[in-house]
Amino acid sequence: MGTMWGGYTVDLNLIGSGALGKVYKAYDSKGRQLAIKETSNREAARREARIMQSYRIGEFLPRYYDYFEMGEKGYLVTEYIRGATLGNDFHNTFTNKRDQDLSVEITINILKGLRQLHKTGYIHNDVLPKNVMILHNKPETVKVIDFNIAKEIVSPAVMNKELQAVCKICAFLMNGTLADIHKAEIRDRDLRRVLLNPFDVNNKDRYPSTDALIAALRPFC
């Protein structure tokens, strides 16, 4: 038996945690497995709930179910995602290297998830290995998580920052770690050119959107 929160049965063993919240496994009245994120900053929790409500269901984004408050805390109810994050922290986490095809496939699905988020008027603003989940290295299981510092898209520069972050993840996947994308081992010169495109401040042809970067990456997987 677990603890009851807002009509949900909660297993108090943590399945995840971050600066703004803790995540627990939970079950609804039908026995469906869910995740509940407990956040001490109610305004931040409400904002994240609004962002998730705006896309509601996304193939590569976690499904939103509910939001409620108890005392001074906010509780976000989402689908339970099986698998693990691409990395435990930032790009300097050491992990297994993926081959080029797999790395690019994963990256494209991250971009597809972000594309749906961008349609709501927000960038994720924290695209890091720790905020992308995957099960058994299967690209179709990718989920981009944690929208607590999402930012409104107010200029092309904001979008470019998001695309830079995604390109870093692709290089990270192929290298197993990443200190500097400009020094990353990317054997295919054309792929290297694609991944460095958002970082070239003098390039007037930088990719303007997730769709543009997806199209540029497709030939490499």
49: domain CATH number? Answer: 3.30.200.20
Query: What pLDDT does residue 91 have?
Result: 65
Q: Which of 79, 109, 131 is the last residue of a domain?
A: 79
The H or E element containing residue 194 is helix 189-196
Do 72 and 143 have their domain in common? no
- Provide the domain limits for residue 62: 3-79
Q: Which of 29, 55, 79 is the last residue of a domain?
A: 79
| Beta strand ranges found along the chain (DSSP E) | 3-5, 8-17, 22-27, 33-39, 64-70, 73-79, 84-85, 122-123, 132-134, 143-144, 151-152
Do 198 and 95 have their domain in common? yes
Q: Which of 79, 106, 122 is the last residue of a domain?
A: 79
The pTM of the full predicted model, rounded to 2 decimals, is 0.94
Which CATH number is 133's domain given? 1.10.510.10
Residues with Cβ < 8 Å from 106, sequence gap 6 or more?
86, 98, 132, 134, 139, 142, 170, 173
Report the alpha-carbon distance of residue 75 to residue 64 in Å, rounded. 12
Query: What pLDDT does residue 93 have?
Result: 66
| Beta strand ranges found along 71-211 (DSSP E) | 73-79, 84-85, 122-123, 132-134, 143-144, 151-152
Do 102 and 68 have their domain in common? no
Query: What pLDDT does residue 165 have?
Result: 97
List per-block mean pLDDT (blocks of 10 residues) for the chain, which spans 221 residues.
Answer: 90 86 95 96 95 90 97 96 85 80 99 97 96 96 96 95 97 92 95 98 93 98 90
Query: Domain count of the chain?
Result: 2
Do 128 and 27 have their domain in common? no
